[in-house]
Amino acid sequence: MLLSRRFDQRAILMQRLGRWGVHSPVEGQEAAVVGSCLALDPARDWIVPQYRELPAYIRQGHTRERIVAAQMRRPVEGRIPDGVKLLPVQVALAAQLPQAVGLGWGLRRQGQDAVVLVYFGDGASSEGDFHEACNLAGVVRAPVVFRFQNNGWAISTPRRLQSAAASLASRATGYGFTGMVVDGHDLLAVH
């Protein structure tokens, strides 16, 4: 978590100097990312990130050097290495959710004992891709963990204007799987 915070600080400084591409810091959400990815087996399980999951990339085996290379506009060096079970970073809101469900469904159909952990935030939970992915995951019983990082804002829209649901986790019941609220600042509770 400390490595992630230092990385964020350095990346933001370099971005302001024009020496770094787009960077979305995970600062303040490190426990939520670290706690969730520590529950996985990097040799078997997959991570489908959005754009704030640096600790998870490293846990899965993606190196800091390759992440830096991608940001320094050397895309060949930034390619996800073979054997690292991590899909490329997705910046478009919710676009990674159907991919995660397809991956999980495929793993299940192949008889693999693996799960897919997909990260997304408040804004993504209001996109059509979110609802379609959750519906399909429930119908086909895909082994997917939807890790919703709720910081109370969908870009600039506050939570109260985004959904009438009492709890965003309560939506899971309608899709046929369990949803729960966990304090994202408590690493052990997230794990």
Question: Closest Cα to residue 151, out of 9, 10, 13, 30?
Answer: 30
pLDDT of residue 64: 73
Instruction: Report yes or no: 132 and 96 within 8 Å, Cβ to Cβ.
Output: no
Positive or negative: CA dihedral 36, 37, 38, 42: positive
pLDDT for the residue 141: 97
* One pLDDT digit (tens) per residue for the chain, 191 residues: 888 899 889 989 988 998 887 888 888 889 999 999 999 999 999 999 988 898 998 899 987 777 777 666 666 655 778 899 999 888 888 999 999 999 999 999 999 999 999 999 888 998 999 999 999 999 999 999 999 988 877 777 888 888 888 888 999 999 999 999 999 999 999 99
List the structure tokens of 95: 């676009």
Report pLDDT for 78.
58
Query: Would you state the pLDDT for residue 23?
Result: 80
Cα 19 to its chain centre, rounded Å, is 25
- Predicted confidence at residue 76, as pLDDT, reads 63
Q: What does DSSP assign to residue 81? A: P
- List CB contacts of 165: < 8 A, sequence separation 6 or more: 171
Intra-chain end-to-end CA distance of the chain, in Å: 14
**Contacts of residue 124, Cβ cutoff 8 Å, sequence gap at least 6:** 50, 93, 94, 97, 130
Q: What is the pLDDT of residue 24?
A: 84
Q: Which of 80, 60, 59 is nearest to 70 (CA)?
A: 80
The pLDDT value given to residue 70: 67
User: Which of the following CATH numbers is that of domain 28-61+83-190: 3.30.950.10, 3.10.350.10, 3.40.50.970, 3.30.930.10?
Assistant: 3.40.50.970
At residue 72, the pLDDT reads 66
Which pLDDT does position 2 carry in this prediction? Answer: 87
Q: Where are the domains of the chain?
A: 28-61+83-190
